């Protein structure tokens, strides 16, 4: 009888602790709800054929609104390009050549060699990360000071050498580009107390 009572008492304790874990995960998700990933697939970057580029580009940026901290550029931007701000926490641009092309593939991020370090960013009338991206922007493009360069509009430029000739192609960013809300790393914190109580449960069972 004592053994049954002990098991019931511990299960009640353990069940109460388990109820805390969904709350931790929920609160963590709410805390990270201001993070948005904006993906630019190849289908949204249209080659302007001036000159024709033997491949496609794609990329993404991740915005964390909690890091804006009153930065006026977030809502207003500016006509000239500027350094990557703190509120863009991740970015990537990739060029994938056509089959048989002599132009090599290339990917640049915020932390790669020759990283993305500048951008053009100018919303038309403020910026809402929950809304379609392209229709909100007058200027947007990324630059790594190398083959990826920023234009004065919604055109992403890519430099390449073909048949011994240096060229710079243009890709117009077109809609729709829909931001997606993404969770930050905080929900993983719920795994720490979860593992602790699982170990505690096993030890208690061994003593019974």
- 82-102 pLDDT tens trace: 999 999 999 999 999 999 999
Q: How far is CA 190 from CA 17, 24, 54, 58, 155, in A?
A: 12, 6, 47, 34, 43
Instruction: Give the residue, 19 or 165, on which the prediction is more confident.
Output: 165
**Distance of alpha carbon 129 from alpha carbon 34, whole angstroms:** 9
Q: How far apart are CA 12 and CA 24, in angstroms?
A: 19
pLDDT surpassing 70 at residue 12 = no
Above 50 in pLDDT, residue 114? yes
- Per-residue model confidence (pLDDT) at position 129: 97
Q: Output the pLDDT for position 5.
A: 47
How high is the mean pLDDT of the chain?
84
Angle at 177 between CA 172 and CA 181, to 5 degrees: 145
**What is the mean pLDDT of the segment spanning 153-165?**
95
At 183, is the pLDDT very low, low, confident or very high (cuts 50, 70, 90)?
A: confident
Note whether 148 and 86 are within 8 A (CB).
Answer: no
Which candidate, 57, 130, 132, places its Cα nearest to that of 95? 57
């Amino acid at each position: 009888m004592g053994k049954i009572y002990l098991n019931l008492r511990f299960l009640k304790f353990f069940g109460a602790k388990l109820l805390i874990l969904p709350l931790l995960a929920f609160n963590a998700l709410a805390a990270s709800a201001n993070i948005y990933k904006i993906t630019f697939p190849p289908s949204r970057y249209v080659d302007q054929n001036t000159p024709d580029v033997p491949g496609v580009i794609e990329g993404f940026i991740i915005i964390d609104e909690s890091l804006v901290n009153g930065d006026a550029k977030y809502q207003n931007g500016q006509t000239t390009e500027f350094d990557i701000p703190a509120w863009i926490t991740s970015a990537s641009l990739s060029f994938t050549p056509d089959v048989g092309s002599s132009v090599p593939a290339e990917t640049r991020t915020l932390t790669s060699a020759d990283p993305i370090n500048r951008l053009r960013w100018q919303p038309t009338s403020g910026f809402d990360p929950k809304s379609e991206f392209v229709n909100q922007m007058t200027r947007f493009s990324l630059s790594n000071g190398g083959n990826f360069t920023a234009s004065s509009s919604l055109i992403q430029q890519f430099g390449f050498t073909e048949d011994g000739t240096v060229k710079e192609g243009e890709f117009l960013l077109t809609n729709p580009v829909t931001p997606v809300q993404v969770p930050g790393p905080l929900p993983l914190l719920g795994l720490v107390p979860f593992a602790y109580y699982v170990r505690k449960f096993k030890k208690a069972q061994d003593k019974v």
